[in-house]
Amino acid sequence: MSKKLIITKLAIFSLALSVTACSGGSAKPIELLPVTVVPPATYPIQPAPLHPTSIPFPTTTPSHTVDQQQIIPEVRAGEVNDNERWNEYLTFRKTYRGPFVHDVDVSERYIIKALDVAGNPILDALVTVWQGQEKVWQARTVSSGTTMFFPRAIGASQSDEFIVSVNKDGIAQTFTMPRGGQEAWVVNLQGNQPRSNRVNLDVLFLLDSTGSMGDEIAVLQSSVQSIADQIDSFHPRPDLRFGLVTYRDRGDQYVVKKADFTSNVWTFENRLNNVQAKGGGDYPESLNEALYVAIHEMDWRDENCIRLVFLIADAPPHLDYAQDFDYAQEMAIAAANAIKVFPIAASGADDQAEYIFRQIAQFTQARFIFLTYEGPTNGGEPGDVSTMNVNSYGVQDLDDLVVRLVREELEPQAFLQ
């Protein structure tokens, strides 16, 4: 079975969301919180400031319609939450013997959760971690009210404790967090009132558009008008926008191409219609630069916004360019700004791609998603078997899986009734 079916299902999902979208998007764009991860001494690539080759999508009238009676083939997919199965994930990291990766040290972890006066998770609370007089980490909380702090990933010096401040709408609480002890901390901001049921939802598709992804892109374009009834029951409806970033590799016609968020389904369709699969040549692609554009150059909304990226790819980033952005740095900035990145591994993804995709998902509090097949191969007819290095995993139809993940992002905010 062709791997192009993965995008068919994603197209169903994306159009389902867009049909239920409310008008909006006027909120101010987010001002990204800066953060730096510390590369290990053996890491040979020193990223240098480099403006990405990002060009806007052309705007033309959509040139096709889709047969609504078209039968969409079944696609099966698995997903892993490495933050919930933490010891298994640490073992996976230790036993990895594949090609070179950027090994960000996440072995020391602290989970901080913010709740309002009613005990509901607070979205976009600001968490600041101090070590003595030095501010060492600052991040927003995601929909579940949580953020994660990895001292060794940022090179925090050895000390006995951290000071943590949690702030939302001017109401703050500060506490001392001893090092090496309790992992999960819950903060109740008693003066913070429950928020309204109005929530913004920004969904970005980050798509590898090299030649090996031709089938996926073609099916995505032909499926833009697919039936959207899977999430029609979402009530109330989120203020939803879609964005699109596609990327190839250096030496191709373009490296990164972007289209800002829109709540207009026809605009989104138009942009998809203009995507073509070309170039590539070698296996890795310019994912480093694409992540930079996705995080820094898209107009993510600032307040009360759930921010999701679905990265659809079959190859890891180039790690041999002398001057490049750094996927590890970008995933840290995404995490600090409550942008969850859900990598979806298409057929052909190797051990290096799996390791890096799982790094990105884990650090941003997202899930790693992968296609499953009938037999122990990375391709073929859909089934429940995977070649990924996971001991156990849930499997369901891909469209149901992605819709469920979006529902899980909305539910902590008591959004769906």
Taking residue 211's Cβ as centre, other Cβ atoms within 10 Å add up to: 13
Q: What pLDDT shows up at residue 42?
A: 34
Q: Report d(CA 180, CA 161) in Å as an integer.
A: 9
Largest CA distance in the chain: 64
DSSP codes joined into one string, 317-338: BP---SS---HHHHHHHHHHTT
CB 209 within 8 A of CB 250: no
Q: What pLDDT shows up at residue 151?
A: 94
Q: Does residue 373 sit in helix, strand or coil?
A: strand
Most confident stretch, 14-23, 132-141, 205-214, 249-258: 132-141
Token pair belonging to 389:
């290095």
DSSP codes joined into one string, 16-49: HHHHTPPS---SPBP-PPP------TT-------
Q: What pLDDT shows up at residue 380?
A: 60
Q: What is the pLDDT of residues 177-195, one digit of tens each?
A: 999 889 999 999 987 776 6
Q: What pLDDT shows up at residue 12?
A: 33
Q: What is the pLDDT of residues 336-347, one digit of tens each?
A: 999 999 998 877
Looking at this protein, which amino acid is placed at residue 40?
Answer: P
- Tell me the domains of the chain and their CATH numbers: 5-103+197-413 (3.40.50.410), 110-188 (2.60.40.10)
Q: Please, what is the average pLDDT of the chain?
A: 78
CB 367 within 8 A of CB 344: no
Q: What is the pLDDT of residues 45-93, one digit of tens each?
A: 333 333 334 455 444 433 333 333 444 456 778 899 999 999 999 999 9
Q: What is the pLDDT of residues 230-260, one digit of tens each?
A: 544 577 778 888 889 998 888 778 888 999 9
Token pair belonging to 131:
């070590």
Q: What pLDDT shows up at residue 106?
A: 95
pLDDT higher at 288 or 324: 288
Q: Sign of dihedral through CA atoms 59, 63, 67, 70?
A: negative
Q: Would you say residue 130 has pLDDT above 80?
A: yes
Model pTM score: 0.84
Q: Which of 62, 12, 72 is nearest to 226 (CA)?
A: 12
CB 249 within 8 A of CB 283: no
pLDDT higher at 28 or 102: 102
Q: What pLDDT shows up at residue 337?
A: 96
State the number of CA atoms in the 13 A half-sphere of 395 facing the CB: 17
What torsion do the CA atoms of 151, 152, 157, 163 make, to the nearest 10 degrees?
A: 10
Q: Sign of dihedral through CA atoms 121, 125, 131, 133?
A: negative
Q: What pLDDT shows up at residue 197?
A: 62
pLDDT higher at 331 or 282: 331
Q: What pLDDT shows up at residue 38?
A: 67
